[in-house]
């Protein structure tokens, strides 16, 4: 999610949080120095993120491209991730990519946005009928349409969209079916229990994967139900519960999460708890995915091709699933 001006609020909030956190651990630290000091957790997250860059998606990358991987790379993978990566690579090399699903909505000025403002304004500055070529100049919200939230979106010094290594954006993709729960309650949240229920059926969540929430909300994209705002303006759609962040980061080592709604947090959230629990840890998230009903619960590879603007806090993304 995003709104012009909201980043200043986010920054203030983050600085407050950093202040609180650092003051908690070093009681003598003053507010002034705290806000100027890079938080250790953030530094660790940034280092860890970069360190994982090559490792992170090697299995998925190999599987998706059929590129022969070096023995050093293989040596760097550990445990189950290695075994799963090898198996996946073998399968894909043997049979090739059988199916490609575009998980991206077509973006337009009419596309719903988190704050209800227009996401993109297009001005045609060259017309084929007149000059024999077409060209637009456009102005758009950074976080609108199918797009990626970079760590920098909700942290002071996290990686920008341009700094996320490309290898980290090609990852195994799993899908958690939240449709029944969302049908009953539009404010439903994907919980640790939902993730454990998925694991009972499909096995352990693979490390460095992207976990996608399929709430069925993608089918509402052309209606008011997508934002589902009430009389007071509060929105009602599903999202990730903030408690899943700790589980996915520390117990499963996931790289990204994705939703078919407007926000990683569920609609009524006013504190963006999941955004704050997830993105500052060097993780990314994709919002407004389409066509999740066309991919399996496991076995797909996600290519999250976010635009590479310098300093971008995220941006429009062509999300593609390979199977
Ligand atoms: Zn966003």
**Mind listing the pLDDT tens digit for each residue in 239-249?**
999 999 999 99
- Around Cβ 16, how many Cβ atoms within 10 Å? 13
Query: Tell me: the pLDDT tens digits for 191-208?
Result: 999 999 999 999 999 999
Look up residue 65 and give its two tokens. Answer: 């491209």
Q: What is the pLDDT of residues 134-189, one digit of tens each?
A: 999 999 999 999 999 999 999 999 999 999 999 999 999 999 999 999 999 999 99
Distance 81 CA to ligand 1 centre (A): 29
CA of 287 to the centre of ligand 1 (A): 6
Please tell me the distance from the alpha carbon of residue 187 to that of residue 241, in angstroms, as a whole number. Answer: 11
Per residue in 81-117, pLDDT (tens digit) is 667 766 766 776 677 899 999 999 999 999 999 999 9
Cβ partners under 8 Å of residue 263, min gap 6? 1, 114, 237, 239, 269, 272, 275, 287
pLDDT more than 90, % of the chain: 70
* Domain assignments of the chain as residue spans, ordered by start: 6-23+46-322
Q: What is the pTM of this model?
A: 0.76
CATH 3.40.50.10680 fits 6-23+46-322, yes or no: no
CA of 66 to the centre of ligand 1 (A): 32
* Separation between Cα atoms, residue 149 and residue 248, nearest integer Å: 17
Q: How far, in Å, from the CA of 128 to the mean position of ligand 1?
A: 34
Q: How many CA atoms lie within 13 A of 67 on its CB side?
A: 14
Residue showing tokens 């399929």 = 214
Distance 95 CA to ligand 1 centre (A): 36
What digits encode the pLDDT tens for the residues 218-229? Answer: 999 999 999 999
How far does the centroid of ligand 1 lie from the alpha carbon of residue 240, in Å?
14
Q: In angstroms, rounded to a whole number, what is the distance separating the alpha carbons of residues 220 and 201?
A: 28
User: Looking at the predicted structure, is the pLDDT value of residue 2 above 80?
Assistant: no
């Amino acid at each position: 999610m995003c709104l012009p001006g909201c980043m200043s609020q986010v920054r203030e909030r983050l600085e407050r949080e950093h202040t609180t956190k650092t003051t908690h651990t070093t009681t003598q630290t003053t507010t002034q120095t705290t806000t100027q000091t890079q938080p250790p957790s953030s530094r660790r997250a940034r280092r860890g993120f970069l360190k994982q860059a090559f490792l992170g998606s090697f299995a998925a990358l190999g599987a998706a491209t059929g590129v022969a991987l070096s023995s050093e790379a293989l040596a760097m993978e550990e445990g189950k991730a290695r075994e799963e990566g090898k198996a996946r690579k073998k399968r894909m090399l043997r049979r090739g990519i059988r199916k490609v699903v575009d998980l991206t909505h077509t973006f337009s000025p009419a596309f719903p946005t988190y704050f209800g403002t227009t996401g993109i304004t297009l001005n045609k500055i060259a017309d084929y009928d007149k000059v024999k070529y077409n060209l637009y100049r456009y102005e758009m919200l950074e976080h609108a349409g199918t797009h990626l939230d970079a760590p920098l979106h909700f942290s002071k010094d996290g990686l920008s969209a341009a700094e996320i290594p490309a290898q980290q954006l090609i990852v195994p993709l799993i899908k958690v079916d939240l449709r029944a729960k969302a049908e009953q309650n539009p404010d439903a949240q994907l919980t640790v229990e939902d993730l454990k229920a998925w694991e009972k059926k499909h096995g352990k969540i693979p490390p460095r994967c992207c976990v996608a929430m399929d709430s069925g909300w993608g089918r509402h994209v052309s209606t008011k139900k997508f934002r589902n705002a009430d009389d007071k303006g509060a929105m009602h759609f599903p999202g990730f519960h903030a408690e899943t962040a700790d589980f996915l980061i520390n117990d499963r080592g996931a790289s990204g999460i994705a939703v078919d709604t407007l926000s990683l947090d569920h609609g009524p959230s006013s504190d963006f708890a999941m955004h704050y629990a997830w993105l500052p840890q060097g993780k990314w998230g994709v919002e407004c995915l389409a066509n999740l009903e066309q991919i399996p619960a496991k076995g797909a590879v996600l290519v999250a091709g976010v635009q590479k603007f310098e300093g971008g806090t995220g941006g429009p993304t062509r999300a593609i699933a390979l199977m």
